Structure formats: C-alpha cells, structure tokens
Amino acid sequence: MVLAEHAEKAKIELSILGPNANESEFISLEKCSDDSFHVGRNGVRCILTTRDRKVEFVFLESGVLAYIKSSLGYPAYYAVQPTRIQKPVDAVLMDLDGTTVRSEDFWVWIIERSVASATDNAKFRLEESDIPYVSGHSVSEHLEYCIRKYCPGKTLELVREYYFEHSRRELNEIMQGRGRIDAFSPTTGLKDFLLGIKGKGIKIGLVTSGLYEKAWPAIISVFRHLNIDDPQIFYDAIITAGFPLRKGDVGTLGELSPKPHPWLYSECSRVGMGIAVEKRFHVVGIEDSGAGICSLKLAGFAPIGIAGGNIVESGTKGLCEHYCENFERIYDIISSH
C-alpha cells in the first residue's frame, strides 16, 4: 500500500511537466549542475533533466523548479506551473524557424561559414553530431559551442562579427530576389492553418529567438510564397530577439533571454496581444524544438509539438500537451469543442 501511494504521488508530481510525461524519458540526477540542489536534502525529492541536458527540473515538497543553464554564464531558475488547454482557444503562439518556416539548414550553413572564416579554412564543415548544439538557442550560444570545439583560441566577439557579416550579405541577396532560393520555405499545410485559425477569430502571435535582421527576411519570404497580405497586418503580434549589440550600435535584450527562457512567449501574449495571465489556459503554443517547448511550458502556456524538429531527440515530447505530425491535426485540436 505504501509503495502504491508513493508511485501515485510521483505520477501526480510528474504530471506538472505534461500529461504524457514519463520519468523514463528524462535523465535522473543526484544534484543540479550548479550544485544548489541535492536529492534528499532540503526537501528535494528528485532531479530530472531533459535528454539534451538544457533544462533541469527540481522536484521539491513545495513545487517544481526549472533550472536553465547558460553557456554565457547567466543561468536562471523558474517555477513550473501546470498548463492545460481550456476551450475556447483565444490565441495561438507560433515559433518561426522549423514550425512556420523551414530554414534550419540555411542558418546552420551560416554558422558553418562563420567557423570557416574563424579557422581560415574554406572547406570547413560541421559534423552531424554538432547539429543539436547549433539550432534552437541564441546565436551566441551556437557560436560558443563551435568556438570550444573548433577554434578555442578565438573570441566570441570575433566569430559573431563573421556571423553577422555572412548573414547580412546572404539576407540582403535574398531580399533582392537573389541568393539561396532554398533558404526559406513555408511548412506544409501552413497557409490553410493560418487562414483557418484567422477565420475563427483566434489571435495569432509569431515568436522567434532569432534576431530581427534574421527573422524578418524569413517572414517576408514565407508570406511571398503563401501569397498572403503583409505579415505585420496579418499577425496580432510578432516578437523577435531584437537587435544585436555591436560596437557603434544600440542593441536590445535577446542573447541572454532566448528560448528555453519564457520571456519571448510571455511578452508576445501579455504585452503584444493583451492577454491577462489569468487567461493563459486559453492560449496554446506550437513548437518543433525542445527549447521552444520548455519556453512555452515555463511561460504557462500549453505546448503543442509538431514533428520535424528535435522534440523527440531532446527528450521534451512528454512536456507537450499534444504531439502532432502536421498542422491539420493541430487545427482539429484547437478548433474542436
């Protein structure tokens, strides 16, 4: 009887991460990587981390905390709140890269070119094992990983300069109708989904960890493909990671607060669309990455995962309210009563 009660209690505690959360999908830890929490001390019941080890969940007697690590030295703890979908759905928050637009290969290529410049090796290529570390997070975190592995003598500031040099050139070519024609393409089923949701009077917000100068050409390119009106008019709110901080320019917050931190989604909903925190159960988010799923979860919104990204590989499928293969299935979930 005692064992049964313990198992039931563990199940209830784990359900705060998601209705389908299963302990076997996570990695069990004896302590947090910052050494602040240890299992068995001060009310810590257990500590679980996602497979990509980006987020650590600390189960306390009083609740659950999420610890987000940072390769730049600014980690953070957040309280994990229950999420659910409450009908009717008033707003849908959507990721850009991988969810709305297929562009990951392009941005990985830009990172590859940046490292090639830093190593003075035009033939440089990333390895397949590098891909999980050069997508889904901030530019600086992607580059920091590459510096540690491929050019430890270089500074982040130098490689960032290479990155923006390559990206500005290529994005300008694309905006002029030249450049890589395969850089940005809409996800299958996107147009019908967007128009269907819009037709039901549901607000739509677009949220990306990408900087504005990266995101805007992608958004414009996709809407040209879809033959839909100006995205600034179509979307109820668009949130990007802002503008890069470079010498001689004024930058905005973005490099230290990207997904899986909750702030971009929180700002889109609360500030961009005016939705009160108390109404958050009427908001759903759609993501293809583990970082994005965690970001939605920590912002208090029910995450819906869409196939094609790294949700399964990152070990965050259990955090999803639903996990779907396509937009048609997601539309059915959102529009059903």
Task: Write the pLDDT tens digit of every residue in 213-256.
Answer: 889 988 988 998 899 989 999 999 999 999 888 788 898 888 88
Please tell me the pTM assigned to this model: 0.84
Q: Is residue 181 part of a domain?
A: no
**Tokens 């659910």, residue?**
84
The β-bridge partners of 60 are 44, 63
The answer to whether residues 329 and 192 belong to one domain is yes
User: What's 195's domain CATH number?
Assistant: 3.40.50.1000
Confidence of residue 195 (pLDDT cuts 50, 70, 90): very high
Domain hosting residue 253, numbered range: 91-102+186-335
The answer to whether residues 162 and 195 belong to one domain is no
> How many domains is the chain partitioned into structurally?
3
Q: Is residue 180 part of a domain?
A: no
pLDDT tens for 88-110 read 999 999 999 999 998 888 999 99
The answer to whether residues 98 and 215 belong to one domain is yes
Exposed / middle / buried, residue 276 (Cβ in 10 Å: 0-12, 13-18, 19+): exposed
The answer to whether residues 96 and 110 belong to one domain is no
The answer to whether residues 61 and 159 belong to one domain is no
The torsion of the CA quartet 268, 269, 273, 279, rounded to 10 degrees, works out to: 180
The Cα-based distances of 198 to 202, 232, 234, 240 in angstroms read: 6, 14, 9, 21
Confidence of residue 7 (pLDDT cuts 50, 70, 90): very low
Q: Which two tokens stand for residue 73?
A: 């030295």
The answer to whether residues 18 and 130 belong to one domain is no
Q: Which two tokens stand for residue 77?
A: 């703890």
Q: Which two tokens stand for residue 217?
A: 């050409």
Residue 191, SS3 per DSSP: helix
Q: What is the mean pLDDT of residues 281-307?
A: 97
The answer to whether residues 258 and 119 belong to one domain is no
Q: What is the mean pLDDT of residues 259-273?
A: 97
The Cα-based distances of 331 to 250, 279, 328, 337 in angstroms read: 40, 20, 5, 12
Q: Is residue 85 part of a domain?
A: no
What is the β-pairing status of strands 302-306 and 322-324?
Answer: parallel
The answer to whether residues 205 and 108 belong to one domain is no
The answer to whether residues 222 and 302 belong to one domain is yes
The answer to whether residues 216 and 317 belong to one domain is yes
Q: List Cβ neighbours of 247 (8 Å cut-off, separation of 6 or more).
A: none
Higher pLDDT among residues 138 and 307, named by residue: 307
Higher pLDDT among residues 23 and 266, named by residue: 266
Higher pLDDT among residues 39 and 225, named by residue: 39
Q: Give the residue from 313, 301, 331 showing the smallest Cα distance to 85.
A: 301
**Residue 337 pLDDT > 90:** no
The β-bridge partners of 3 are none
